[in-house]
């Protein structure tokens, strides 16, 4: 969508104050979250998946003790499971899906874009036609068709996210490769006897990589949102494995008696997606800045 929207903002506000450190806050949030999702479920007093003593523990509001005297930071769900621990356990899956899904989609897109841009001709047309076909449907529709292909679960979600996420990056990388290919140092390297593969991977692709990395980072938040959406619809991660999407879905019919069950996991979700997209924005600004000064 043309110029990055949030991007200009921080630069203007911070110009003349300090060096641009807008990546710091989202990076800290993501770091704390990453540590939390690893440590909290591991250190939890009870197994976050186990259901026991339901009557004494169910639907405890946030910041309260249950009838056994245990404290629950964010309350409990209808089966008496601690929401904070479950939220962190769900975070493992969400972060994994976001990073791996967007990362592999980015890698696939980079590879396809590089091949298309480098080879040109019929192969280029074929690959770009494939991208066009996949881009002609809204991504959500493609995802819905895709999840029908296999049993719902983590692998299906990942495969579908990768299969529907590479096209934009492939186009970006292709354009960069075509632009870089024309620079004088490429024929120079070729004249010195560099093989085509070496030319592409050592001389051309590194110049296109910045764009791909930024686009991939921006895709992480989107991947997390889409995964949670699929899980919310019952087509993604299946209970009892917690994911932010299916936790929110599980709290839907409790909205009257215990709104926190549905609303608490969403806070983690929003925070993560927000941090991921701010980080992507910050990297994009930095890249744009380098381009200008270069």
Residues making contact with other proteins (CB under 8 A): 1-9, 12-13, 129, 132-134, 136-141, 144-151, 221, 225, 228-229, 232-235, 245, 248, 251-252, 255-256, 259, 262-263, 266, 269-270, 273-274, 277-278
Give strand pairing partners of 187. Answer: none
Min CB(191)–other proteins separation in Å: 38
Min CB(4)–other proteins separation in Å: 7
Residue 69: DSSP 8-state? S
HSE of 150 in the Cβ direction (CA atoms, 13 Å)?
12
What are the start-end ranges of the H helices in the chain? 5-14, 24-43, 54-57, 83-119, 121-135, 139-147, 154-165, 167-181, 185-191, 196-198, 205-232, 244-250, 259-293
Which two tokens mark 2?
């043309």
Min CB(26)–other proteins separation in Å: 11
Q: Which is nearer to other proteins, 144 or 287 (CB)?
A: 144
Q: Which is nearer to other proteins, 8 or 61 (CB)?
A: 8
Min CB(77)–other proteins separation in Å: 15
Q: Which is nearer to other proteins, 8 or 196 (CB)?
A: 8
Min CB(190)–other proteins separation in Å: 33
Give strand pairing partners of 82. Answer: 76
Min CB(69)–other proteins separation in Å: 29
Euclidean distance between CA atoms 50 and 38, whole angstroms? 18
Q: Which is nearer to other proteins, 1 or 192 (CB)?
A: 1
Query: Is the distance from CB of 280 to CB of 211 less than 8 angstroms?
Result: no
Query: Is the distance from CB of 25 to CB of 281 less than 8 angstroms?
Result: no
Min CB(2)–other proteins separation in Å: 7
Residue 65: DSSP 8-state? E
Q: Which of 88, 86, 68 is nearest to 76 (CA)?
A: 86
Contacts 24+ apart (CB under 8 A), 65-74: 70/45, 74/260, 74/264
Q: Which is nearer to other proteins, 24 or 137 (CB)?
A: 137
Q: Which is nearer to other proteins, 105 or 204 (CB)?
A: 105
**Helices H / strands E in the chain, number of each:** 13, 2
Which two tokens mark 89?
């356990």
Min CB(188)–other proteins separation in Å: 35
Q: Which is nearer to other proteins, 52 or 132 (CB)?
A: 132
Q: Terminus-to-terminus CA distance in the chain, angstroms?
A: 24
Q: Which is nearer to other proteins, 62 or 229 (CB)?
A: 229
């Amino acid at each position: 969508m043309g110029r990055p929207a949030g991007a200009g903002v921080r630069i203007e506000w911070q110009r003349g104050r300090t060096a641009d450190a807008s990546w710091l806050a989202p990076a800290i949030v993501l770091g704390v979250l990453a540590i939390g999702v690893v440590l909290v479920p591991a250190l939890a007093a009870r197994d976050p998946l186990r259901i026991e003593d339901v009557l004494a523990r169910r639907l405890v509001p946030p910041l309260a003790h249950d009838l056994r005297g245990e404290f629950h930071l964010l309350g409990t769900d209808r089966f008496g499971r601690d929401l904070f621990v479950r939220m962190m356990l769900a975070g493992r899956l969400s972060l994994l899906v976001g990073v791996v899904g967007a990362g592999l989609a980015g890698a696939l897109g980079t590879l396809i874009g590089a091949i298309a841009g480098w080879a040109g001709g019929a192969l280029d047309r074929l690959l770009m036609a494939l991208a066009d076909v996949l881009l002609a449907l809204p991504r959500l529709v493609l995802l819905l068709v895709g999840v029908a292909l296999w049993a719902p679960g983590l692998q299906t979600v990942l495969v579908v996210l990768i299969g529907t996420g590479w096209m934009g990056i492939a186009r970006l990388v292709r354009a960069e490769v075509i632009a870089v290919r024309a620079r004088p140092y490429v024929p120079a390297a070729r004249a010195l006897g560099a093989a085509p593969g070496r030319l592409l991977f050592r001389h051309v692709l590194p110049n296109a990589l910045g764009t791909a990395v930024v686009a991939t980072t921006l895709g992480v938040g989107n991947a997390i949102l889409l995964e949670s959406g699929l899980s919310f619809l019952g087509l993604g991660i299946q209970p009892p494995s917690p994911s932010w999407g299916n936790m929110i879905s599980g709290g839907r019919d409790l909205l009257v008696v215990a709104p926190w069950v549905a609303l608490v996991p969403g806070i983690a979700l929003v925070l993560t997606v927000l941090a991921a997209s701010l980080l992507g924005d910050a990297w994009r600004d930095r890249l744009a800045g380098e381009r200008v000064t270069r």
